[in-house]
Structure 1
Amino acid sequence: MAHDTHEQVDPVSGTTTTGHEWDGIAELNTPLPRWWLWTFYGTIIWAFAYMIAYPAWPLVSSYTEGLLGWHSREAIVADLDALKAQRATMTAKLAETPLEEVSANPELLAFAMAQGKAAFGDNCAPCHGAGGGGAKGYPNLNDDDWLWGGKIIDIEQTVRYGIRSAHAETRQGMMPAFGRDGMLKRSEIAAVTDYVRSLSDLPVEKGADLETGARVFAESCSSCHGETGTGNHELGAPSLADKIWLYGSDRAVIMETLWNGRGGMMPAWQGRLDETTIKALTVYVQTLGGGEK
């Protein structure tokens, strides 16, 4: 690389060079466009003006207030108050309407659906998915298969008080650990696993002892899941005959469930959401899967 401090002019473009040259290629000293420079200087001036007008610099225990006295938190509160005022009429109407009658009013139903969808996205989607499709251990809300009942009043109770939550009125129900707690032998768990899979017409192990499985099921499982395995909403015991499995239908998964038990938890939303939001959320959740009449 050669360096020349004397001004040089590129013979092809007529532009002066910086004096730098690499492998015979000279670096042109092309000035930035004037409009770009003024824009750049303008952004610097704007930045200083912004720092003076708005909160900007952190201090030891506070921050600079800015000459305009504007705060983003206060702006958000004002926007939320304005939104509440805009919704006040419909919110009051929703609060006054019995839950069972909301769906009979198209305008009120549309309002409840919109508010419920927003509440679902903020509070329920992390577990049940954005569209309510669920995941392993988190029920699918789109399939109208309800552990604790799909009637509007059932769903409201679940939303309001949760499942196995800290609320005094929460629903309780748990799958026992038949293997870990010594209630069933491993061979009995294997037999009842095959029997349970047969209830949903799933393939069973060759040579499976379905007779023993049926006996174990009748003695240990039917009190919760029913004699034919159709479930019990009062206990939150799922149907074992509909091919819908909360934790999966693989033989190993079912054996693990029987051995260690299951006991998922849903939080209680009462006290965390206001009454109209709980009502709107209930209506929205029921519509995802159609619910029960």
Structure 2
Amino acid sequence: MADENPFPGENNTGHFWDDNIRELRNPPPRWWMIAFWLSIAWWVLYGLLYPMWPTPPWKLEQTEQQHTRGMLGWTSIQEYKQGMEQVEQVRGQYEERIAQLSADEILADPGLLQYTIASSKVVFGDYCAACHGSGGQGNPGYPVLADNDWLWGGSLGKITETITGGRKGNMIGHQNILSEQEVDTLAQFAVDLSEGREASDEAWTLFNNKGCSGCHGPDATGVLGTLPTGDVITVGAANLTDRLWRFRPGGFESAKHTILYGVNQSGVEQTRDAVMPKFGGAGSAEGRLDENQIKKLAVYVHELGGGL
């Protein structure tokens, strides 16, 4: 900064840097000053029209109102409620049709199906995603819904039944029933089938003689029979012939663990846990979804995995 002003009469402050950089006293442009004062006027006007001014501290004990209401009486909650009323008016026509139709009829209506899937994402996120993942990919320890492999059947009727009443798998632990060699044989049997290899005759004999086929089916697909409606008869036993594993990571050691300690066995410390709560049932403490929500959710889950 120079001690003497080398630019006299320039209306500068007398502060200089690098010989010629200086600070001037010129007033802001008129347009800028007009905008400045208008912004202040707008701020005052806004404070009069909308909720803004806080209640004076000495009056807080005398009133629950924490701010002025504004001359327009507008509130964000009021705007939200009005918006929800408009949304419900649009939804209403679809919800009425859903209440009158079956899940199969909804599936056959492209427009209604699109609405059902879109509106069910929130319900799925609230009640299902914590276990099955946001896209049905299945979190660790829980079934995948985004494939076409179903433990209890993938028809709309079976999915509705599952959501409404819940499911609880059951498989006894065989640690005191089978020898170590038999456990290894059956575990390898499951691995061979899952990888598309032929299992040995010895393994098939053991599979049938030890009662495994009673739950997993005579062909180890988990299906005990098929009804004329197309629904399968199953007790929730896994399909051993595909590459999907109910309890990950899968493979030989995982299969051994399940064979030894079973599924949902009381008093068995290392048993697998596989319980899905019920989401339907009027008057039930567990019932959390109404009939329409269950119907829509069944359609949504059905379409995640392509259905049957």
Instruction: Determine helix, strand or coil for the equivalent of 1:255.
Output: helix
Aligned to 1:255: 256
Encode CA deviations 1:210-250: one digit per residue, 9 max, x unaligned. 94796267426333222432114632211111111122323
Matched residues in 2 for 1:229 and 1:201: separation? 13
- Relative to 1, partners in 2 of residues 1:212 and 1:230: Cα closer, same or farther, differing over 3 Å? closer
1:119 to 117, 123, 133: 123
Aligned to 1:54: 51
Q: How many residues align?
A: 272
Encode CA deviations 1:157-214: one digit per residue, 9 max, x unaligned. 22223x3xxxxxxx322344444xx45555543332212111223689xxx9994796
2:170 is aligned with 1:174: yes
Question: 1:137: how far off?
Answer: 2.2
Contact 1:159 1:269 in 2 (8 A): yes
Counterpart code for 1:64: H
Within 5 Å, give how 1:109-258 maps onto structure 2: 109-161=113-165, 163=166, 171-179=167-175, 182-184=176-178, 186-201=180-195, 211=202, 215=206, 218-219=209-210, 221-232=212-223, 234-246=234-246, 247-258=248-259
Contact 1:177 1:262 in 2 (8 A): no
Which shifted more, 39-48 or 236-245? Answer: 39-48
2:302 to 283, 286, 290: 286
Contact 1:174 1:262 in 2 (8 A): no
Aligned to 1:274: 290
Encode CA deviations 1:20-75: one digit per residue, 9 max, x unaligned. 86xx6987547897577876777677667656622686968763363244333343
Identity across matched positions, percent: 32
TM-score by length of structure 1 reads 0.71
Counterpart code for 1:282: A
Matched residues in 1 for 2:27 and 2:205: separation? 85
Contact 2:168 2:276 in 1 (8 A): no
Aligned to 2:226: none
Contact 1:152 1:283 in 2 (8 A): yes
The CA RMSD over aligned residues, in Å, is 4.1
Instruction: Determine helix, strand or coil for the equivalent of 2:210.
Output: helix
Instruction: Determine helix, strand or coil for the equivalent of 2:275.
Output: coil
TM-score by length of structure 2 reads 0.68
Aligned to 2:274: 264
Counterpart code for 1:115: S
- Relative to 1, partners in 2 of residues 1:209 and 1:36: Cα closer, same or farther, differing over 3 Å? farther
Within 5 Å, give how 1:51-90 maps onto structure 2: 53-54=50-51, 63-64=66-67, 66-67=69-70, 68-90=72-94
Counterpart code for 2:67: T
2:110 to 106, 113, 117: 106
Aligned to 1:166: none
Matched residues in 1 for 2:113 and 2:196: separation? 40
**Which ranges in structure 1 are unaligned for 5 or more consecutive residues?**
164-170
Contact 1:18 1:27 in 2 (8 A): no
Question: 1:18: how far off?
Answer: 7.8
- Relative to 1, partners in 2 of residues 1:39 and 1:87: Cα closer, same or farther, differing over 3 Å? same
**Which ranges in structure 2 are unaligned for 5 or more consecutive residues?**
224-232, 262-269, 281-286
Question: 1:150: how far off?
Answer: 0.7
